[in-house]
Structure 1
Amino acid sequence: MRALSIPALTERLSVALQRAAETTSDYELLPGMRGADTSPLRPAGVLAAFRPAAVPGGAELILTMRSSALRHHPGQIALPGGKVDAEDADEVAAALREAHEEIALPPDCVRVLGRLPTHETVTRFRVTPVLAVITREFNPRPEPGEVAEIFAVPLEHVAAVDRYRIEDRNWLGGRRGYRVLPFGPYYIWGATARMLHALAQRLD
């Protein structure tokens, strides 16, 4: 297997930005369970950053396992990122800042390609996935208070729509449906799997 060049990886991912797509939501598979909470959605940004690698598809996506001590989505697999803070210009700035804090990814290593459609979570966030390419090597280091582990998933796995499936579990007195993307020992599910599924649908 050969790693894609930066220009080839950029071209492959840019396809996703050129195709129309709608916003997504945790509630897509939760009919009648939106509830009475009408508080404003809090803006957040996450970084879907790929880097060239000698793996299927020629590139890989950086993901994290969140700390079990976190308030929101403890122990879940996630894209680096978080809520937009007062000092952030926008969701892109928040995603880059959080990726630097969470996995020690310097912003000057990242080429931002654009934004994917937003995703609404049951925890009242409006998440903007920021699609990007990592242009040079860096030394990933997990931030102990937020990240339990850093790992990578091949582009071919992320882009294979047929590898995503729907599962369900009991939640708030009913059955909650959600998407999953299993990868080895990692159980990628919920909002992260849904955002990656939306990306996979737009890739060649």
Structure 2
Amino acid sequence: MNRPVLPTSAAELRVDTSEFFERAQQRLRFEVPAALTDPTLLPTSGDADTDQMWEMIAAEFPLRPAAVLVPVVARAEPTVLLTLRAPHLNSHAGQIAFPGGKIDASDASPLAAALREAEEEIGLDRGFVEPIGYLNLYATSFGFRILPALARVAPGFELALNSSEVDDAFEVPLSFLMNPANHQLHSKEFRGAMRSYYAMPFAERYIWGATAGILRGLYERIYLP
């Protein structure tokens, strides 16, 4: 797991919209990693504690492939569109997340699943969405293997939230999320051992766990050599 490297403060860092998407198009592809559907392969995070946790989870849970959309809204000051999951859901209830979910057999690809879920959860019209490529595979303590799909979203969309799945949808400045000064490393005990995880608190929003981990992965793919 890489540590923050840029010596900038949240107030100093600005993200140029054109440069961000240019970098993303150069660095990302739509190549589906074999570990998404092969139970004998495991995603790796680069952090030994996290990888050990994923290994334990993989031995207990059936393979559960999933996909999420990482929607970057191409405003003058770009933002990331996030959701607040409903409190009654079986997994990650009440947490901040990307639109997405399990990959169905009818989905032509992980990207198709992410786009479908974004339409079903928040009513995001795919006519506003320009997919760019996949980020690194991410595993969760609930046994999901998540393939994030980065997309450019044109402003002007209107959302219609599915209240059975989502309590809220909101945007966070990309400059905040891509500033490593805001990438806090927290830790907690997991089965007798301490494990670290990223958190990116923003105002009253506590962004952490898989969502923060995927955002950290986005930063690493776009801004690190």
Pick from 184, 190, 196 the counterpart of residue 209 of structure 2. Answer: 190
Shift of 1:97: 0.4
Pick from 149, 152, 157 the counterpart of residue 138 of structure 1. Answer: 157
Q: Distance in 2 between the 1:26 and 1:38 partners?
A: 22
- Alignment-mate amino acid for residue 181 of structure 1: M
The corresponding residue for 1:48 is 70
Aligned residues: 195
TM-score (norm. length: structure 2):
0.77
Q: Deviation digits for residues 124-179 of structure 1, max 9, x if unmatched?
A: 11100100011241112221001011011111011112211111234444444221
Q: Distance in 2 between the 1:32 and 1:117 partners?
A: 18
Which protein has the bigger strand share?
A: 1
1:17 paired with 2:11, answer no
- 1:74-85 alignment runs, 5 A limit: 74-85=93-104
Inter-CA distance 172–26: structure 2 relative to 1 (3 Å threshold): farther
Pick from 141, 146, 149 the counterpart of residue 122 of structure 1. Answer: 141
The 3-state SS of whatever aligns with 1:186 is coil
Task: List runs of 5+ in structure 1 lacking aligned partners.
Answer: none
TM-score (norm. length: structure 1):
0.84
Q: Distance in 1 between the 2:27 and 2:49 partners?
A: 24
Q: Deviation digits for residues 73-95 of structure 1, max 9, x if unmatched?
A: 10111011001012111210110
Q: Deviation digits for residues 28-72 of structure 1, max 9, x if unmatched?
A: 544754437344421111000111224xxx200000010010001
- Alignment-mate amino acid for residue 56 of structure 2: G
- 1:28-177 alignment runs, 5 A limit: 28-30=48-50, 33=53, 34-35=55-56, 37-54=59-76, 58-177=77-196
Identity, % of aligned pairs?
38
Contact (CA 8 Å) 1:15, 1:203: kept in 2 or not? no
* Structural RMSD (CA): 2.6
Contact (CA 8 Å) 1:129, 1:195: kept in 2 or not? yes
